[in-house]
Amino acid sequence: MRQIIIIGSGPAGYTAAIYAARANLEPLLIASSVEAGGELMNTTEVENFPGFPDGVMGPDLMAKLQVQAEKFGTEVLYDDVTSLDLTGEIKTVQVGSGETYEAKTVIFATGSAYRKLGLSEEEHLSGHGLSWCATCDGFFFREKTIAVVGGGDSAVEEATFLTRFASRVYLIHRRDQLRASKIMQNRAFENDKIEFVWNSEVVAINGEDAVSGVTLRDTVTGETSELALDGLFVAIGNDPRTHLVHGQLDLTSEGTIAVEGRSSKTNLPGVFAAGDVVDPTYRQAVTAAASGTVAALDAEHFLAALEQAEHESLTLAN
């Protein structure tokens, strides 16, 4: 039986693995079969991860984290967790190959998925003018013309934030009014740089190697039109990847895994959660990495207490 299994190979999972491996816990990290490396595999330049003054490509950063985790003794398994039982003292984790692994502790770091528009162009234009994160990528669009898709709080907040950089920000929404709170709406209405494109949905993102615009369809008349752009931000929601633990781990009203205070402790002893799957607010690589550290330290303390308790019961029995 393992001391620790880490599920997820994003910044949270790999950072947890680096700490757990350096504590001699020989972690098994289950990385996923096709999505190993997490969300940063879908982007190009990352300029806000500390320690890289010239920026680093998302996949390069993840490759470095993997090497660092393996260097200290992490075993990385490229498979998907298909089911798990976290309720007992021994946690069991089943993967796609059919193999079952057992551990005393589990760190759940499966991240969260930005909702996509469902257009085929999204894959190859991601990181090439197409983004899901204004905090991450706004800086690349100084004096550019961009658009945000969405009508909720996060879309309006992102559009307002992006006016710090862009010369013009279109807010494209399917309806003729926003879902965002009144205060957010008023802030956006008063902002000269934001122009609203009502009753419109994006039916194509144009551009060979980088975003050059979008094709819009009017949701009332059905007419299509073209809008020239340098960049497009999609802000239509986010889904924490929690389906594997429904019925076992408590969730918050925002759909993230509920943890105790600033710790990574879930409602089940020996089960810890880290990264975007617990974070409805910040969702950055460095916050996910920090959260992975917390989870590894919590797991380490849990295992030490377990060992101490086992030792005491053995001493009493003798």
Q: Is 85 a catalytic residue?
A: no
Bridge partners of residue 232, in order along the sequence:
130, 147
Of the pair 40, 149, the CB lying nearest ligand FAD is at: 40
Listed residue (208, 191, 103, 194) closest to 150, CA to CA? 194
Among 18, 20, 25, 36, binds ligand FAD (CB under 6 A): 36
Among 3, 42, 256, 266, binds ligand FAD (CB under 6 A): 42
Gap between the Cα atoms of 166 and 108, Å rounded: 37
Q: Is 60 a catalytic residue?
A: no
Of the pair 74, 126, the CB lying nearest ligand FAD is at: 126
Q: Does 66 bind ligand FAD (CB under 6 A)?
A: no
Q: Does 9 bind ligand FAD (CB under 6 A)?
A: yes
**Catalytic one among 80, 85, 136, 276?**
136
Q: Give the number of other CB atoms < 10 A from CB of residue 264.
A: 28
Q: Is 133 a catalytic residue?
A: yes
Q: Does 245 bind ligand FAD (CB under 6 A)?
A: no
Of the pair 37, 129, the CB lying nearest ligand FAD is at: 37
Query: 20, 41 in Cβ contact below 8 A?
Result: no
Q: Does 39 bind ligand FAD (CB under 6 A)?
A: yes
Listed residue (51, 2, 3, 14) closest to 274, CA to CA? 14
Gap between the Cα atoms of 81 and 316, Å rounded: 39
- The residue whose two tokens read 């308790």 is 309
Angle at which helices 182-189 and 153-162 cross, to 10°: 30
Residues binding ligand FAD (CB under 6 A) = 7-13, 30-32, 35-40, 42-43, 46, 48-49, 80-81, 109-111, 114, 126-127, 131-133, 136, 241, 244, 275-276, 283-286, 288
